[in-house]
Amino acid sequence: MKFEQLKVSGAYAINLEKREDDRGFFARYYCESEFKKMGLNTHWVQMNNSLSREKGTLRGLHFQYPPHSEVKLIRCLKGAIWDVIVDIRKGSATYGQWDALELTEENRTMMYAPEGFAHGIITLTEDAEILYMVSSVYSPESEGTLKWDDPFHDIQWPIDPVIISEKDSIAKPWSDEKAVIL
C-alpha cells in the first residue's frame, strides 16, 4: 500500500500496490501492520455498503460527535464518486479546510478520514457503489451534519447535486460551537 498525506492533517489517499501477472493482480486492501507503522487506526467495528443509483446524488457531509467519533476508510467498488472530507476539529491547524479525491472502480484509491472530519460524496456516475469501514458503531444521538454548501468550508463541488436527502438539504450553517473536541 502507498500512503499519500492529503492537505488536511491526518487524512490520506491510499493506493494499492498490485502484484500482476497474466491472471490479473493481487493487492492488499488493508494491512494492520502497515496502518500501525503510519500511526493510523487499526480497529474496525463496521463495514458498510452504499449504492447510489443516480449520477449527482449527494450524501453528506456527515460525522459523529465524541465519544462516537469515527475513522472511515472509503473505497468505490463500482462507478465513480467524488469523496470529500472537512476538518471540524477545534484547534486543528487545518480546521475548516477540505480535501477530496475521485474514487473509481478503476483507480481503486481509498480515502482515509480520521476522527473529527465530516465526510460526504457526490456520485459522478450512475449506480455508484462504495464500501467503507468505520471505527465506531453508528450512534444516531451523536450524529451531526455539515451543510454541503456552507461558506464555512466553501467546497468546490465538481458537479451540481441532483438528489439530496431531506436531512442533508435542511442542515444548518456551521458555527464554531459545533466543532469536535477530541
- Which amino acids are annotated catalytic? 62, 132
Domain ranges of the chain: 43-172
| Band (176; pLDDT cuts 50, 70, 90) | confident
Domain 43-172: CATH superfamily is Jelly Rolls (2.60.120.10)
Sign for the CA dihedral angle at 169, 170, 172, 173 comes to positive
Q: Say what the pLDDT of residue 181 is.
A: 80
Q: Say what the pLDDT of residue 9 is.
A: 95
Answer whether 57's CB lies under 8 Å from 161's CB.
yes
Residue with cell 473509481: 104
Residue 104 DSSP SS3: strand
Q: Using one digit for the tens of pLDDT, what is the confidence trace for 65-78?
A: 999 999 999 999 99
Phi, psi of 18 (to 5 degrees): -85, 140
Q: Using one digit for the tens of pLDDT, what is the confidence trace for 85-114?
A: 999 999 999 999 999 999 999 999 999 999
| Band (178; pLDDT cuts 50, 70, 90) | confident
Residue 140: exposed, middle, or buried by beta-carbon count in 10 A (0-12, 13-18, 19+)?
A: exposed
Q: Using one digit for the tens of pLDDT, what is the confidence trace for 113-151?
A: 999 999 999 999 999 999 999 999 999 999 999 999 999
Q: From residue 88, how far is each of 34, 155, 175 by CA, in Å?
A: 26, 14, 10
End-to-end Cα separation, the chain, in angstroms: 28
Least confident stretch, 7-21, 116-130, 166-180: 166-180
Per-chain mean pLDDT for the chain: 96
